[in-house]
Structure 1
Amino acid sequence: MVQGFDAAMRLMRSRDPQRQEDGFAQLRAHAADYIAALIEQFENEQQDQGLRRWLLELIAEAESSAALPVLAAQLDNADESLRESAIAGLTRLATPEARSTLWRARANGTIA
């Protein structure tokens, strides 16, 4: 499974937009299986903001409770697309903890 993840990440880091899309699609189909690796990549990626956005989108789509801390931490990010992915992921997760996190963020004005 790791080989597939590593190959898809290489594609996502390619300069070729089609290869990037191909890597994203490969990971999207197995986001829940790769949640720990996706979180690690997201936390370690500091250079490529577009890649960070895609990684957070994949983390959100995994619908895994392991994603809750990462998604919650992005609710006050200055990057609107990261905030939106975090909101979507927490909404999709739909656990009591995710709903409480969204409620608190709305109550304190972090998100609308």
Structure 2
Amino acid sequence: MTERFQQAIHLMRKRNPQDREDGFGLLLPHTAEHLDQLIAEFNQEQADHGLRCWLLELIGEARSPKALPVLIEQLHNDDESLRSWAVSGLKLLDTKPARYELAKARANGLID
């Protein structure tokens, strides 16, 4: 794990909203290089809903086919916020499999 990633996650776990924003901003331009760590953090995080949403947003911002399984899984989540970030990530990915999953979710009434 790189120092940047550790520092950003540490900030994102703080109570101070500005620290949290700073941590997010530190990772945003580097999502692709930290994708594996972002996915691992997302899968481990259970307590902080806001952090889970931000991690999923960052995963989508990576625009990597490696993110597809996580995004598809969250597309079917009962949590509307996570589902919304999954939709955003799939749209950003904009691959044939991502478009297929979005179309299927629309057809099944999961999303608008």
- TM-score higher than 0.5: yes
Report the identity percentage: 54
1:76 counterpart = 2:76: yes
Name the structure 2 match of 1:30.
Answer: 30
CA deviation string 1:23-61 (max 9, x = no partner): 000011111110110000001101111100100011111
SS of the equivalent of 1:4 reads helix
Once residues 64 and 8 of structure 1 are traced to their aligned partners in structure 2, the CA distance between those partners, rounded to angstroms, is 20
C-alpha RMSD of the superposition: 1.1
Normalising by the residue count of structure 1, what TM-score does the alignment of the two structures yield? 0.95
SS of the equivalent of 1:26 reads helix
Name the structure 2 match of 1:44.
Answer: 44
Once residues 17 and 106 of structure 1 are traced to their aligned partners in structure 2, the CA distance between those partners, rounded to angstroms, is 34
1:111 aligned partner, one-letter code: I
Size of the aligned set, in residue pairs, is: 112
Q: Could you tell me whether the CA contact under 8 Å between 1:76 and 1:111 is conserved in 2?
A: no
1:92 counterpart = 2:81: no
Where in structure 2 are the equivalents of 1:97-112 lying within 5 Å? 97-112=97-112
CA deviation string 1:1-35 (max 9, x = no partner): 61110111000001111111100000111111101
Unmatched runs of 5 consecutive residues or more in structure 1: none
SS of the equivalent of 1:63 reads coil
Normalising by the residue count of structure 2, what TM-score does the alignment of the two structures yield? 0.95
Once residues 96 and 87 of structure 1 are traced to their aligned partners in structure 2, the CA distance between those partners, rounded to angstroms, is 14
- Higher mean C-alpha displacement, 101-110 vs 21-30: 101-110
